[in-house]
Chains A and B, each alone.
Chain A
Amino acid sequence: MTAQKHNEGERELRAGLYSLFATLYAQEMPQAMLQAWLKGEAQPLLQALAQDGHAEEVAAMQASLDALRQTADARLELAADYAACFLLDLKSCAPPYASCYALTPARLYGPQEQAMREQLSTHALSVSTHFPEAADHLAVQLEFLAWLIIERKDDEASRQIDELASWLPAFADKCAEVSTHYPFYPALARLLCRVLQQDKAACH
């Protein structure tokens, strides 16, 4: 494998990974996707992530999947955890919006939201109408990061990683405080944090 090809493959993998995170944060897992996870389709990814130094987070996610396999209403149970983490009011959950970590008291639609929308706009992008959310939603930011990587806008991608890395630790801490039945989402937040840190280190 030539270095260039290797880099291309890695670029795709990185973009794919952030897209996958975006998918997990965009909404609760639909039945089909959860089945894919439960049937082990994520195993190669999880193993690779474990080998990359995220064994602890991966173990927590694996444990969640194991438990969910034993649960009758797996989708609903995980959806309730998702709701507890992200969907209720911004006080008792871990709001997936950048604005909420920049402003005191926490408020929706802060300057970060405006900035993100403008940034998307400079690339002739916008938040899909199928996703009625503020633009500073974590899933949008991750999706955008994936797009930047694919489009080879490396400097901007790097800035986007810095931006995310500035509030994700606080976000992950919040996720850890939420009372969930499965450690899936708190572990996912820690995993994302670590992946970003790693990537950030690699970028500089």
Chain B
Amino acid sequence: MINNSRRTFLKGLTLASMTALIGPSLLSIGDAAAAPAAGAGAGAGAGANNDGWKMAGSHWGAFRARIAGGKVVEVRAFEHDKHPTEMLNGIIGLIYSPSRIRYPMVRLDWLKNRHRSNTAERGDNRFVRVTWDEALDLVYGEMERVQQTYGPSGLHTGLVGWRQTGQFHTCGNHMLRAVGMHGHTVTTAGDYSTGAGQVIMPYVLGSTEVYSQGTSWELILKHSKNIIFWASDPVKNLQVGWNCETHESYAYIEQLKGKIARKEIRVISIDPVRSKTQNYLACEKQYVNPMTDVALMLGIAHTLYSEKLYNKQFLDSYALGFEQFLPYLLGTAADKTAKTPEWAAAICGVPAARIRELARLMAKERTQLIFGWAIQRQQHGEQPYWMGAVLAAMLGQIGLPGGGISYAHHYSSIGVPASGAAMPGAFPLNLDAGKKPKYPSTDYKGYSAVIPCARAIDALLEPGKVIDYNGSKVKLPPYKMAIYCGSNQWHRQQDRNKMKKAFRALETVVSVDYTWTATCRFADIVLPACTQFERNDIDAYGSYSNRGVIAMHKLVDPLFHSRPDFEIFRELTRRFGRDKEYSRGMEEMEWVQQLYEQCRKENGSKFPMPAFAEFWQKGYVLFPKGKPSTRHADFREDAEINALGTPSGFIEIYSRKIANYKYPDCPGHPVWLEKNERSHGGPKSERYPLWMQSVHPDKRLHSQMCDSEPLRATYAIQGREPLFISPQDAKKRGIRHGDLLRVFNDRGQALVGAHVSADFPPGVVRLQEGAWYGPTGPEIGALDTYGDPNTLTQDIGTSRLAQAISANTCLVQVEKYTGKVPAVTAFGGPKEVKPK
């Protein structure tokens, strides 16, 4: 009841005096639930007629989602996924994340001053909301300015990595096609995950290896007597896949566990850390000092040679250059040092007797070597991979089932045989045949058009510098504008404080994403893409097993003002009259259907697929299991016809081609090279005694899902990223599990939570990559409040050969944090921290 006694309410005021200050109504007559999903509806506005179970796919696997009241309320693993990952629990938190970008935003100072803005303010500044039209006009205007002012060397399109899944909406293709229609840009070579491996292995085994299908698990389980997991943690890493992940490998790993228990297969994990895989399998562990694997391998090789355990016949028939390598191994080369087990033991911390034992064990029976990727993400990361191949060649089991070497059984269910079926294509990345960009100039003014991805920051700091790269010279281009789409440069690149300085050279930064990553916070124009769960798409089920095709139903409408990348970039191309060409006049569902029908056509009657409507309704089509195969078996069978892709066609223990480059950090055969910083007695270990490894995270996909609060709550400590540390190192520093720590070195500092674990040996700490960056301020050296390991890592190339990242060559010190505790800023948008 309204109280009549209120006499003073807005006395003397008339409604008329307010009307000019009141805007149009926000409500409309009519029931939202009854009205058709109104496109512009705010996500949940699609209404109840959208409710029910829907099919979705993701890097974390396929799942069914229940929609109620227009919202995703429940997620259940796909019924054919027998080993779903816990990370599915993060999906709802990802969609409704408090870190979602809701509107197109522009940095205020940039909006006022454009390319003359104060770029030192980035990451700590004021943003304003703009309409989509304004935002895209600004992006387009900058593309015009940059092409006209600098030409193609002025614009950088950032490498697109683990984009959201979905073959039509795959965002990199949208960005590259749209921007490519406008003009040429500076692009990148290689990637952050396997940068060294994918460059060195073609010289050695004739393929990138890191992305190659490997020997089928069933053959390994049948034929291997020994399996060596060398710095490989498949149980952790197989949770995610490049396309929609099937998790089929876990069934084999389960069998392996049984075979270990029954002593049918011996499994040794060579790793400084007791890995998730090792704990799961209950297998043997072989500790090795961090970054000294090559020394250990040389010690093993020396034993194989001196005890005549190596396969000479295999080397003669299938390999080149063993004789050039031998002097180095035996101590008759320039360094006059025999790589005996005793020599190795002093470096790698494995006793000489144990090294000999390992050599004899490997040579005695069928031995499968399985390497992970982390050891090539270190200085001289080419060497452990090359030396691994030399070991495998000496053992002579390459091409035999259950023998030889693999570099990728931890990735996307490699080792599960391919069904043989064709998978759906994607939205075209390239311009259509015969089409030219609006600015056709390819005049890079003498700078390189393509740079190794990890050197993108060096290009900003030292433009014009000429660097060596894989046998050629690269002149770093002085790009002035960067566009990132679905890629978090401020997660994957090393050395934040160096980046902060470098980014000041950029006049304009555009970032397209669904969540306020650090890359968005350090951008000038931020465009909100919707998540993959707010658009229709299809995806391959199983990147290597090609198990089937998955429908990705739109679960809810795009939240707030967000849009699919397709619409964002089509609108961009409309600004130069190329939108019809861009979309080929087709809308989302026409594309999805066409990709499906093309795939269906390719599969023909060998892999029958239902008509689109039936598929879409059912949500998936599965193909039968493929035939098992052995990596390099064809090469072993006929090395002449099935030659490797190396320069000689044979395994190259010594590469003349590499030797001819004359790189001191990557000579003609694998060598042990000291790192510029190394724990356990290595350089700089007195000042910073702890080796920090930044492995792929257990409960994220790189930086994806870090913003999913319910999932983060299961591992964060005091709201910070956990730093895993040994009980010994913790005790020495008075640290207890759950304490707040400061981890630091000369490059940076971060706040983290102490996770004390006996899985870690003294001198080794782990801070998983992908933890979001949240500094206390814009100044260089500012404390990172959440625990991004790349605040501490160094941005140097692995060598002149691959110029890849060296994140795992990193020493730190740790102390209990006693200062005033700053709030976590990592999951916030850009904000100003100036005192009021």
- Give yes or no for direct A-B contact (beta carbon below 8 Å): yes
List residues of A whose CB falls within 8 A of some B CB.
Answer: 3, 7, 9-14, 16-17, 19-20, 22-23, 26-28, 33, 36-37, 41-42, 44-45, 48-49, 51-52, 73, 76-77, 79-80, 82-84, 87-93, 95, 100, 105-109, 113-114, 117, 120-121, 124-135, 139-140, 143-144, 147, 154, 158, 178-181, 202-204
Residues A76 and B32 in contact, CB atoms below 8 Å apart: no
Residues B32 and A127 in contact, CB atoms below 8 Å apart: yes
Residues A26 and B23 in contact, CB atoms below 8 Å apart: yes
**B510 interfacial by beta-carbon distance below 8 Å:** no
A75 to B497, CA, bound (A): 34
A202 to B319, CA, bound (A): 92
Rounded to whole Å, the gap between the CB of B481 and the closest CB of chain A is 22
A42 to B136, CA, bound (A): 35
A180 to B831, CA, bound (A): 10
For A26, list chain B residues within 8 Å (CB): 23, 26
For A107, list chain B residues within 8 Å (CB): 93, 96-98, 709
Closest to B100 in A: A108
- A7, A9, A41, A84: the one contacting B126 at CB < 8 Å is A84
With A19-B22, A20-B21, A93-B829 already in contact, the answer to whether A128 and B28 are too (CB < 8 A) is yes
A88 to B45, CA, bound (A): 21
* Interface-side segment among B6-14, B156-164, B231-239, B417-425: B6-14
- A10, A93, A124: the one contacting B9 at CB < 8 Å is A10
Closest to A88 in B: B829
With A7-B2, A117-B69 already in contact, the answer to whether A23 and B45 are too (CB < 8 A) is no
A199 to B710, CA, bound (A): 38
Instruction: Count contacts on B: residues with CB < 8 A to the other chain.
Output: 77
For B832, list chain A residues within 8 Å (CB): 84, 179
- A89, A100, A143, A158: the one contacting B829 at CB < 8 Å is A89
For A126, list chain B residues within 8 Å (CB): 27-28, 30-33, 35, 45
For B70, list chain A residues within 8 Å (CB): 117
A131 to B10, CA, bound (A): 29
Residues B27 and A202 in contact, CB atoms below 8 Å apart: no
Can you list 10 A-B contacts with CB-CB less than 8 angstroms, sorted by A residue number?
A13-B10, A23-B21, A26-B23, A73-B112, A88-B105, A93-B829, A107-B93, A121-B33, A127-B27, A203-B3
* Interface-side segment among B36-44, B183-191, B601-609: B36-44
A31 to B710, CA, bound (A): 41
Q: Mark B89-111, 1 if CB is under 8 A from A, else 0.
A: 00001001111101101001001
Residues B3 and A202 in contact, CB atoms below 8 Å apart: yes
With A37-B21, A126-B30 already in contact, the answer to whether A45 and B13 are too (CB < 8 A) is yes
For A158, list chain B residues within 8 Å (CB): 1
Residues A89 and B516 in contact, CB atoms below 8 Å apart: yes
- B13, B23, B32, B559: the one contacting A108 at CB < 8 Å is B559
A133 to B38, CA, bound (A): 12
For B149, list chain A residues within 8 Å (CB): none
A139 to B26, CA, bound (A): 8
With A92-B828, A134-B43 already in contact, the answer to whether A28 and B3 are too (CB < 8 A) is no
With A26-B26, A28-B128, A117-B32 already in contact, the answer to whether A154 and B1 are too (CB < 8 A) is yes
A89 to B112, CA, bound (A): 23
Closest to A121 in B: B31
A113 to B384, CA, bound (A): 55
Residues A89 and B33 in contact, CB atoms below 8 Å apart: no
Residues B127 and A91 in contact, CB atoms below 8 Å apart: no
With A90-B98, A134-B42, A147-B27 already in contact, the answer to whether A20 and B831 are too (CB < 8 A) is no
With A17-B10, A134-B43 already in contact, the answer to whether A89 and B127 are too (CB < 8 A) is no
**B584 interfacial by beta-carbon distance below 8 Å:** no
Rounded to whole Å, the gap between the CB of A32 and the closest CB of chain B is 9
A131 to B825, CA, bound (A): 29
Residues A83 and B129 in contact, CB atoms below 8 Å apart: yes
Residues B26 and A140 in contact, CB atoms below 8 Å apart: yes
**B821 interfacial by beta-carbon distance below 8 Å:** no
For B100, list chain A residues within 8 Å (CB): 89, 108
A30 to B559, CA, bound (A): 24
Closest to B2 in A: A154
Closest to B12 in A: A48
A16 to B108, CA, bound (A): 32
Rounded to whole Å, the gap between the CB of B670 and the closest CB of chain A is 47
CB within 8 Å of A: which B129-147 residues: 129
For A130, list chain B residues within 8 Å (CB): 24, 40
Which of A10, A132, A178 is packed against the most chain B CB atoms within 10 Å? Answer: A132
A80 to B108, CA, bound (A): 7
For B10, list chain A residues within 8 Å (CB): 10, 13, 17, 45, 48-49, 52
For B93, list chain A residues within 8 Å (CB): 107
Residues A127 and B42 in contact, CB atoms below 8 Å apart: yes
For A19, list chain B residues within 8 Å (CB): 22
A26 to B129, CA, bound (A): 13
**B732 interfacial by beta-carbon distance below 8 Å:** no
- A16, A121, A144, A179: the one contacting B22 at CB < 8 Å is A16
Residues B39 and A124 in contact, CB atoms below 8 Å apart: no
A202 to B28, CA, bound (A): 29
Residues A23 and B98 in contact, CB atoms below 8 Å apart: no
A179 to B835, CA, bound (A): 8
Beyond A27-B129, A125-B27, 10 additional pairs, beta carbon < 8 A: A16-B18, A44-B17, A45-B21, A52-B8, A100-B98, A117-B70, A120-B32, A127-B45, A129-B28, A144-B27
For B39, list chain A residues within 8 Å (CB): 129
Residues B71 and A109 in contact, CB atoms below 8 Å apart: yes
Closest to A183 in B: B836
- B2, B13, B26, B103: the one contacting A127 at CB < 8 Å is B26
Residues A108 and B827 in contact, CB atoms below 8 Å apart: no
Residues B129 and A28 in contact, CB atoms below 8 Å apart: yes
With A20-B21, A28-B128, A28-B129 already in contact, the answer to whether A128 and B69 are too (CB < 8 A) is no
Residues A87 and B21 in contact, CB atoms below 8 Å apart: no
Rounded to whole Å, the gap between the CB of A2 and the closest CB of chain B is 12
Residues B21 and A41 in contact, CB atoms below 8 Å apart: yes
For A114, list chain B residues within 8 Å (CB): 44, 69, 71
**B834 interfacial by beta-carbon distance below 8 Å:** yes
A90 to B833, CA, bound (A): 16
A34 to B40, CA, bound (A): 27
Closest to A23 in B: B23
For A44, list chain B residues within 8 Å (CB): 12-14, 17
For B44, list chain A residues within 8 Å (CB): 109, 113-114, 117, 134-135
Closest to A157 in B: B2
Rounded to whole Å, the gap between the CB of A146 and the closest CB of chain B is 9
Residues A95 and B33 in contact, CB atoms below 8 Å apart: no
- B40, B127, B824: the one contacting A80 at CB < 8 Å is B127
For the complex of A and B, list the 3 residue pairs with the smallest distance between their C-beta atoms, beginning with the closest.
Answer: A88-B829, A92-B828, A126-B32
Residues A125 and B28 in contact, CB atoms below 8 Å apart: yes
Residues A87 and B9 in contact, CB atoms below 8 Å apart: no
**B25 interfacial by beta-carbon distance below 8 Å:** yes
Residues A202 and B26 in contact, CB atoms below 8 Å apart: no
For B26, list chain A residues within 8 Å (CB): 22, 26, 127-128, 131, 133, 139-140, 143
Closest to A35 in B: B20
For A203, list chain B residues within 8 Å (CB): 1-3
For B313, list chain A residues within 8 Å (CB): none
For A9, list chain B residues within 8 Å (CB): 15
For A48, list chain B residues within 8 Å (CB): 10-13
**B66 interfacial by beta-carbon distance below 8 Å:** no
Closest to B834 in A: A179
